[in-house]
Structure formats: structure tokens, C-alpha cells
Amino acid sequence: MQFGAFIVLCGATHFINVWTFYMHSKTVAVVMTVAKVSCAVVSCATALMLVHIIPDLLSVKTRELFLKNRAEELDREMGRMLTQEETGRHVRMLTHEIRSTLDRHTILKTTLVELGRTLGLQECALWMPSRTGMNLQLSHTLNYQIQVGSTVPINLPIINEVFTSSRAIRIPYTCPLARIRPLVGRYVPPEVVALRVPLLNLSNFQINDWPDLSAKSYAIMVLILPTDSTRKWRDHELELVDVVADQVAVALSHAAILEESMRARDQLMEQNVALDLARREAEMAIHARNDFLAVMNHEMRTPMHAIIALSSLLLETELISEQRIMIETVLKSSNLLETLINDVLDLSRLEDGSLELDIRKFNLHGVFREVINLIQPITSVKKLSMSLILSPDLPLCAVGDENRLMQTILNVAGNAVKFTKEGYISIVASVAKPESSRDWRPPEFYPASTDGHFYLRVQVKDSGCGILPRDIPHLFTKFSQPRSGSNRINDGAGLGLAICRRFINTMGGHIWIESEGIDKGSIVAFIVKLGICDNPCDTTAAHQMAPQALPQPQPNYGSGDLIAHRPTFSFRDGGYTSSNPRYQRSV
Ligand code: ADP
């Protein structure tokens, strides 16, 4: 209003000046003066007011500018948020696509296709380190504009730069990693970015066509913008590429683990098939061996018995000395062969578990007396003193496999006779007491007496050639004999003790040897588990047993097969022969 009044008064003053140009009355002069004074007053008042108004106006103006800037900033922020949301959506979509499969090649192919579609790329390629780690090889590409399989050396500076950067970096389009096929027509040099894709270290896995991941290793992803526009990489696009590369790394590691476990499963299945085949082959081999054993049993032993019997009969006839030597050699060889056949049969039956114990009541004292009766003739020929001590608490009768027990005692006592030139042989039999068992060897064997059972302890001691302590552990191994020692002339096959140990183990016992060295004698001891007999058996026959009253050779013992070969002895011309060559050899 003031400003309006000022303008009006000012205009009025000038107008009055025009009107009073020639002549004017006093009244006009007064009016003009009043108008001029009013104008001056209003003008001063306006000036004074403007002093206050101008800062206000200025501050309003500043605020307006500030608000405008703020609005622009908010617009930008909004744009950024929208871009981020867009990027997130793309990442989610890409991640979903990538994770929808657990096949390595599909993951990589999907990544390239989806990145190419989302970012509108000219080309997108993945370079994997070769197995040697010296090169990068192009393994996957989007549009095949770079030759799949082409390689670049890994030590290029640009590759090193990409490896050391955790984010996507721009690389020249002329770089070997981005060298796409020559483009025809006009084109704009494209902008290219490259970034590393970590190949996670899978400590326990080594995948066939996968680089050696024991050291940290990377693949490189190269993304090329279209060559027909001047498009540049924008920040949110680079962010998206970074995030996708991490997702690809994780998905690849999962795929690698799955691939490896599938391969392991396939391997296991193959192994199972091979094992099945091996099992069937083993079963066939067992069948073949059983057939062979049957042949051995019937077809080989029968003629062998005939040879032995006829040779023995031949020896009874009138022969010239050369013939006698020849027949004796035939007899000795046949006996050796028979022992070998018997031992091999025993061993193979023991090993395949087909040997069953023939458990029945028997005269325990009788077994020892029979053993003594069998070896006494040999000891007397060799002039060895011989003793048998049966402890008073030894039951007269026991339940167990009499033939296997006798075979074991005969083997051990036979060895004692065989390896002793002079001195003595003693056999001690007693009931093993748990308290005395602590001294026994080996320390891990402690028999625990249970109801209805007792442990028989047999010790065969001799003053023979002895054994070196270092040889003792090998004596129970089949076909093994000590190479050292003073009295090693032995024509056995090294099966006797191996068979004894298996018999004794089958009977729930243990056997061991003690010797202080060469010419210091030996002690062979064993314990076996036997059943206590409730009704003592008739022992008269056993007590009366004498060499003349020994049983005649029988084809079968025990369980009805020919395995339990019981030696038989007879005196001839003041000498001594046995159906068991072990003793015949000793004589
Ligand atoms: P073989 O049937 O050849 O006699 P063994 O298994 O019965 O085989 O015995 C294996 C080896 O143990 C024998 O060759 C011998 O060296 C040794 N041996 C066994 N018993 C005695 C013993 N009482 N004295 C000395 N050496 C023995």
C-alpha cells in the first residue's frame, strides 16, 4: 500500500508539474507542495520499511533455494532406491535361476544367459583356470563370439589386476580376455568389465575336470556391452555383477560337492559290483577247492595207502639189497606224500571253517597212555628217557574231540622226539587253574572256567636242539621252519604246529613254545577247553593198552572223514615202522 501510495503521489507530482508549466495559482502551488511533501514522506517511510523487508525477502529466497535443492536430492535418492530395488530384483531372479540347478555346467550357462538378458550384453564369457594352473581357458560363452577352448596365459598383468580386485573392473576391449570375433560394418568400441569368480577350496574333494583347488583359485567373468551403442557401465549394474559373481561361487561349490558325492556313490556302486563278482569268484574257488579236496580224499589217498601197504608187504619178501633200498625209498616217499596230503587236507578244512569238532565223551588218561604207547618204541630206539605225569586232579573222563586232542599231543610229542638226540622227553598233564594261568604265555589269554568245563594243560618238555627265541613267533606259520640252529635237518613241510594251533584255537585254547636257545631244549605247552564228564567212562581198555594191543589202521575216525589220521605202529625185525611218517622219519 505504501509503495502504491508512493507511486501515485510521485506520478501526481509530475503530472501537477506538467499542469503548472506556464501559470499557476497559489492554490495549485499549495497542492503541489502538499503532494511533494506527501511523496517525500511516503518515500522515506517506504525506504525505512524496505530496510526490514529486504532481509526477510532474502531469507525467503534462500529457503526457497534450499528447499528446491532438497527436493532435487530426494528425487535423486528416490531414483537410487528404485535402481537398488531393480538391482535386488534382478539379483534375486538371477540367484533363483542359478540355484535352481546343481549341475555345474547348467549353473554357469544360466548365469551367462541371465546376465546377458538382464544387462543387455553383447557377449559374456567365463574363463576357467586350466588343470596345470598356468593358463585360463574359455569354458562358457553366451554368444560364442569368443572361441570356446581358447587359452590365455594366467600371468598377464591385466589378469593379475582382475584377480587382486574384489570388484568388477573395466578392462580394454582389446584385452585377450575380451577379444571377440571381428565385427563387420560400423561399430562402437564396447565397454568391457571383468571380475573374478572365487572357486571355493573344497579340501577333501578333487573333481575330475576341475582345477587343482588346494591353492586359492579364481575364474574370470568378462562382460561386454553392445557394440552398436555408446552405452556405459553404470554403478548399479556393476554392483549387480559383483553380487551375482558371489552367488555363482557359492552355487558352484554346492554343485561341486554334490558332483563329488555322486561320483563317490557311483564308485561305491562299481566297487560293490566288483566285490560281488569277487565273492562269486571266491565261492567258485571254494567249490573248486572242495572238489579238489574230495578228489584228494578218495582218489589220492586210496592209491597212496595201496602203495604203502604193498611196499610194506614187498619189504617182507626176499629182496636183494638194491631192491630193498629202492622199496624203502618208495615207502618213505609215499609216507611223506601221505603226511603232506593229510596236513594239507586238515589245514584247508580248518581254514575254510568246514572242520567240525567231534565232541563226545572219552577217556582222557587213555589218550595220554596211547600217545606214550605210540612214541615209546621210537624213544627206546633213540635211547631217550620218557616220562608221563598226570596230575592227581586230572579227570579220568572228559568231553571233547578225542582225535583232534590226540593228534595235537602226538604232533607236539613227535616233534620233541624228532628234535632230541639224547636226554629226555617229559609230558605233564594237569588241570589249568586260573590263578596259575597268570604265568602263561601269551598274557592276553586267561581262561575262565565256566560251569561244566575245565581247562586241560599239557606241557611237552625235551632236552633237544632247542629253538632260537627270535624263531619262535614264526613256528606256527604254515610252511615256515627256522633257518638257523644246530639241528635243522628236517624233512617236514612246516605244517604240524600250524595245524596244532588251529585245532587248539578251535577247541578254545592256546599253544605256545618256550626255549632258551640252541641246544637248551624246548617246552611246548598248550591248554584246551574240555567238558566235565558226569558219568565216568569205562577205562579198563585204555589202562590195558600196550603196543601189542594198539588199534588196527582204520580208514575213518571221528566225524567220519579221513582227516583225523591216527598213526599206527608195528615192530618189524626188531625195528619199528609207523603209518605216520613223522615218527618213521624220526626213527
Ligand atoms: P614240521 O612238520 O616240519 O616238523 P612243525 O610245524 O611241526 O613242522 O614244526 C615247525 C618247526 O618248529 C620245526 O621245523 C622245528 O624247527 C621247530 N620245532 C618244533 N618243535 C620243536 C622242538 N621240540 N624242538 C626244536 N624245534 C622244534
Residue range 225-256, pLDDT digits in tens: 888 778 888 888 888 888 888 888 887 788 77
With a 6 Å cutoff on the Cβ, whether 129 touches ligand 1 is: no
Probe target for ligand 1 pocket from 378, 384, 415, with the most ligand atoms within 8 Å of CB: 415
Estimate the crossing angle of helix 402-418 against helix 496-506, to 10 degrees.
150
In angstroms and rounded to an integer, the radius of gyration of the C-alpha atoms of the chain is: 56
Measured in Å, residue 461 CA sits from the centre of ligand 1 at 13
Of 514, 506, 509, the closest CA to residue 559 belongs to 506
Between the CA of 545 and the centroid of ligand 1 the distance, in Å, is 28
DSSP 8-state class, residue 204? T
Does the C-beta of 419 come closer than 6 Å to ligand 1? Answer: yes
Cα(224) to ligand 1 centroid in Å equals 85
Smallest Cα–Cα separation from 531: which of 558, 508, 499? Answer: 508
Q: What is the pLDDT of residue 188?
A: 75
Q: In angstroms, what is the span from residue 566 Cα to ligand 1's centroid? A: 19
The verdict on the CB of residue 499 being under 6 Å from ligand 1 is no
What does the pLDDT read at residue 405? Answer: 93
pLDDT of residue 461: 95
Q: What spacing in Å lies between the alpha carbon of 565 and ligand 1's midpoint?
A: 19
CB distance 420 to 382 below 8 Å: yes
493 lines ligand 1 (CB under 6 A): yes
What is the Å distance from ligand 1's center to 519 Cα?
14
Nearest CA to ligand 1 atom 25: 466
Grid coordinates standing for 2? 505504501
Residue of 338, 481, 519, 586 to mutate, ligand 1, most atoms within 8 A of C-beta: 481
Pocket flag, ligand 1, residue 492 (CB < 6 Å): yes
Enumerate residue ranges in the chain where pLDDT < 70.
23, 102, 181-186, 200-216, 434-450, 480, 483-493, 536-587
Number of Cβ atoms within 10 Å of the Cβ of 88: 14
CA dist 282 and 179 (Å) reads 61
Q: Whose CA is nearest to atom 4 of ligand 1?
A: 492
pLDDT at 26: 82
Ligand 1, atom 19: nearest CA belongs to which residue?
A: 415
Phi and psi at 224, nearest 5°, equal -115, 125
Measured in Å, residue 482 CA sits from the centre of ligand 1 at: 8
Distances (CA, A) of 442 to 330, 437, 473: 43, 10, 11
Tell whether ligand 1 has an atom less than 6 A from the beta carbon of residue 412.
no
What's residue 445's pLDDT? 56
Residue 565: how many other CB atoms lie within 10 Å: 22
Q: Is the CB of 213 under 6 A from ligand 1?
A: no
pLDDT at 504: 92
Q: Which of 443, 405, 427 is nearest to 523 (CA)?
A: 427
CB of 254 closer than 8 Å to CB of 102:
yes
**Encoded amino acid at 443, one letter:** P
